[in-house]
Amino acid sequence: MTTVNQTRGGDVIELQEAGYGYDGSALLSGMSLTLAPGSFHFLTGPSGAGKTTFLKLLYAELTATSGRVHIFGQDPRQLSRDEVSDMRRRIGVVHQDCQFLDHLSMRENVALPLTVARRDVSAEASNLDELLSWVGLAQQARSLPPELSGGERQRAALARAVITSPEIVLADEPTGNVDWEMSQKLLNLLVQLNKMGKTIVIATHDLNLIRAAKAQVATRVLRIVGGSIQAAGADL
C-alpha cells in the first residue's frame, strides 16, 4: 500500500485503499490519497499504467472495486444516478479522445455543460465567446467537431471542461496534440483556475509541462507504477 497525503481543510477527493479491476485482475490497488481544494497535481506513469482509469475513478465514470473513493465527501457507489450527474457538474473533465457531439457546433459543444444544467446560454454568451477566443477557437466556433484538428479539439475540450468554473478539473493528456506555445497557454489557464481555488489533476507524459507548471504554482506529481500510486521523486 502506498499513501500520499496532503491535508488542507476538507478534501475534495479522498481515496482509501481504493482499487479497480475487472475479470478477476486488479489494474489499480491499495491507493490512498487525498486531494485538497485548490491543489494542483500531475499524474504520470508509463502507458497502460492506469492513469485514465484513475481519472475515471475521480469523476465516477468507474467505481472502485475495492476500498473507497470519496468525491466531495460522498461515495459514488452510494449515490443515485442523478446524484452522480449533479456531482459531475462540479467536475470538469478533458477526455483523452475529447468526446464531442458531432452534430453540434464547437460553440454548442463547449456550452454543453451549461445546456444540460439548464442555464441560460445566451446570458453567458460573452463568457463563452471570450473563452473560445482565449483558446484560439473564435474562428471555429461554428465548425463541427470533425472539421477541427486534434489540437483544436483538445483546446475545445478544455474550454468545455472549465465553462462552468467547476471545483475540480481533470485532464487526460490535455496537451498531447498541441504545440508548445498552445501547451503553455492551456497550462496558464489551468494555473489561473488553480489560483482561483480550483483543484487540478492532469495526466501527462510531458515533463516540460510539469516543469513549467512548477515554475508558476505549487504542484504535486504522482506516479502510477505497478498498479499503485506514489509521489514522484524530486528530480521532477
Partner 1 sequence: MNALLSRLNALMSPESGADRVVPPSGFTASLTMFSAGAMAFLAVFAMALSLATSRLADRWGAELARSSTVRISAPEEQMAAQTAAVVAILQTTPGVRAARALTDEEQTALLEPWFGPDLPLDTLPVPQLIEVIEDTDGFDPQGLRLRLQAEAPGAVLDDHTRWRRPLVDAANRLRTLGIMSLLLIAATTGAMITLAANAALSANAQVVSVLRLVGARDRYIANAFVRRFTLRALVGALGGTALGMISIALLPEASTAGGFLTGLGFQGVHWFWPLIVPPLAALVALIATRAAALRVLKGLT
Residue 101 in contact with partner 1, rule: CB under 8 A: yes
Task: Write the DSSP symbol of residue 118.
Answer: T
CB closer to partner 1 out of 107 and 223: 107
CA distances from 62 to 58, 104, 130, 227 (A): 8, 27, 33, 16
| Residues from 52 through 91 that contact partner 1 (CB under 8 A) | 59, 61, 81-82, 85-86, 88-89
* Residue of 100, 128, 155, 221 that binds partner 1 (CB under 8 A): 100
Q: Which residues contact 122 (CB under 8 A, 6 or more apart)?
A: none
Q: Which residues contact 87 (CB under 8 A, 6 or more apart)?
A: 60, 71, 72, 74, 76, 79
| DSSP strand pairing (66-71 vs 91-94) | unpaired
CB 40 within 8 Å of CB 194: yes
Closest distance to partner 1 from the beta carbon of 24 (Å): 19
CB closer to partner 1 out of 81 and 215: 81
Q: Residues 6-45: x/- map of binding to partner 1 (CB under 8 A)?
A: ----------------------------------------
CB closer to partner 1 out of 147 and 179: 147
CB closer to partner 1 out of 51 and 223: 51
| Residues from 153 through 172 that contact partner 1 (CB under 8 A) | 160
3-class DSSP state for residue 83?
A: helix
- Start-end of H helices in 78-230: 81-88, 106-110, 112-116, 125-134, 150-162, 180-195, 207-214
Residue 108 in contact with partner 1, rule: CB under 8 A: yes
Residues near partner 1, by CB under 8 A: 59, 61, 81-82, 85-86, 88-89, 93, 95, 99-104, 108, 112-113, 115-118, 160
